[in-house]
Amino acid sequence: MDTVTLTTVDGLNLFGMLAAVLWHALRIGAALQVLPMIGGRSMPARARLITTVAIAAAMATLLPVPPAAAVDAQTVLSVLREFAIGISIGLVIRIAFEAGQLAGELVSQGMGLSFATMADPLSGASSPVLAQWFYLSFALIFFAVDGHLALVRLLFESYAALPIGQPIADLQEFISLLPTFFSTALRAGVLLALPVMMALLAVNLAFGVLSKAAPQLNPIQIGLPVALLVGLLLLSLLARELQGPVMRLFEEAFLAARALTG
């Protein structure tokens, strides 16, 4: 072949590779956008875009070539479907982190730290300091047990279960899986905070009885520091036992995410 033909062929191959990367970047980028520690304001948009393109380019070399795109309704539906699948996968992992946020908010009320708030990088709103502590603890455990690598593998396997351009077989089951896992995460958050909450409740009840028996001791000024110290002691003990329940919650999150992709 002459030089012009070779240049044309190379150009077509390049555009085909770019199209494959862009198709895979839709699902991956949507998942990263809603993930904790990566999505939202936690990570600069430019860095997240580079990460998305890098993962998409690596997967594009291992996955089948996606169908050719055209300006029609089928292509638009395929794009929306890719966004929906990616957002659903990211939301499942994010709901697992929300369980830690819930546990922190419940514990902070018993310790009297509900007024101590700081900016939440996940949502941009203010949340209690203890909720941020649980969030960071969940994040450290997630990366320590290679949860980020499991997430990349999950995204890779999702293309085998739901290839690009293929419609979702059971849409009703796909939609119902997120509320189902939400109840699991809610229960996990309450169970994490329950031992500390019950101990702090006992402390508060004891000082409530003391306030009735000896009001001249001013139990309110004594009870708040004691509840704070007891809460910090219990949190230090809880931190040693946190890895097991959090890992089980992450395992259930990945199982729910795999169920989303069939």
14 has pLDDT over 70: no
Which pLDDT score is estimated for 4?
A: 38
Q: How does pLDDT run across 33-91, given as a tens digit for each residue?
A: 888 878 777 777 888 888 888 888 888 888 777 766 666 677 788 888 888 888 888 88
Q: How does pLDDT run across 209-240, given as a tens digit for each residue?
A: 777 776 666 666 776 777 778 888 888 888 88
End-to-end CA, the chain: 46
Which pLDDT score is estimated for 9?
A: 38
3 has pLDDT over 50: no
Higher pLDDT, 122 or 44: 44
Which pLDDT score is estimated for 219?
A: 63
The answer to whether the CB of 23 falls within 8 A of the CB of 82 is yes
Largest CA distance in the chain: 100
Mean pLDDT of 162-170: 74
Residues 107 and 257: their CA atoms lie apart, in Å, by: 29
Instruction: State the residue range of the domain holding 36.
Output: 3-260
Which pLDDT score is estimated for 2?
A: 46
Higher pLDDT, 241 or 8: 241
Tokens of 233: 């002691």
Our count of domains for the chain comes to: 1
Q: How does pLDDT run across 128-154, given as a tens digit for each residue?
A: 778 888 888 888 889 888 888 899 899
Give the range with max mean pLDDT: 112-116, 156-160, 172-176: 156-160
Q: What is the mean pLDDT of the chain?
A: 78
Which among 179, 188, 187 is positioned nearest to 138, based on CA atoms?
188
